[in-house]
Structure 1
């Protein structure tokens, strides 16, 4: 199973360059890579930066939000011969060590992570055969991850609440301060 870290956003609320924002002296992308790499066969980065040791998956439709990154991940995984691909966001440094195993335990073309506070739409397994449909959705002006996903069969992998929360997003300086306290 390959995985792609979605790191294409502008990061405006945190001052830009979100993948390189330091948490406990290490860039966010590295925290996510360290959590995900042991769980997958291959790991790539979707975003404007080149990171040593990881292939870059460029957006096929730049500027269209996270779904563009999901589409790019699907196309890359398909080229690699995979049938599914995991996507995770670059701003989620506390991903669970059993993320892939839990997601794989559910069976559907899309499997999303879920906690009591909601669904985590970019933390999901995607069947690469959905790429053409997703491309059509993006061409038609669609942008919402869950709105598109809900047009297909979805299964959910439920995760317990932990401290720190497993899918905590770092979007603002205040979020970064909270994450620093947990680390």
Structure 2
């Protein structure tokens, strides 16, 4: 398998943050998105950004910007599909996605997702962390996706599927477990309070 390409999902509307590109908000001397790029780019041979609107606002990042091919802001699955189409065109067999608001991503995200998919015999792998109440929490925007499922995903989106796990469960999903003893590696910044907390953790 060719090493998976990376796609950062930045297509959300950030309504709880007041709109705009929340990945551009600063944590110290670097933005949230800069920190995601720093953590994911060493793990993949190519990296792209899934985002809608004017791509010129991301020109400084020097990344390919992938708009949704499905209208109506259907959510992260549309970003996954855009990433699949991009990677398939370049000859890659898989992509790994991460959210643009997760500045503490694990440095071993990609190898652990690959290992989980292989060990559990599933085509898709999602990151997970332990939870004292629910046992395990899945992080559906941080996953490994085979590009040969892109037509199935395109049909599912056309049929109105929006929740990631509703689609992944059709195909079988491995879970890659990540520890939280040094903090939640998938802490995501959704609100101003989250941003303050992230700045403190950084």
Instruction: Verify same fold: TM over 0.5.
Output: yes
Structure possessing the higher radius of gyration over alpha carbons: 2
CA-CA distance at 1:162 after TM superposition: 3.4
Partner-residue secondary structure (3-state), 2:85: helix
Q: How much is the aligned-residue C-alpha RMSD, in angstroms?
A: 1.1
**Among 31, 35, 55, the residue aligned to 2:39:** 35
How many Å separate the matches in 2 of 1:168 and 1:87?
15
CA-CA distance at 1:25 after TM superposition: 2.7
* Structure 2 unaligned regions, length at least 5: 132-136
CA-CA distance at 1:61 after TM superposition: 1.1
Aligned to 1:177: 196
Q: Does 1:113 align with 2:122?
A: no
Q: Deviations over 1:123-146 (max 9, x none)?
A: 000000110111111101110001
CA-CA distance at 1:20 after TM superposition: 1.0
How many Å separate the matches in 2 of 1:38 and 1:88?
13
Q: What's the TM-score, normalizing by structure 2?
A: 0.87
Moved more, 18-27 or 143-152: 18-27
**Among 155, 159, 175, the residue aligned to 1:136:** 155
* 4+ runs deviating over 2 angstroms: 48-52
Q: What's the TM-score, normalizing by structure 1?
A: 0.96
* Structure 1 unaligned regions, length at least 5: none
Aligned length: 183
Aligned to 2:180: 161
Aligned to 1:54: 63
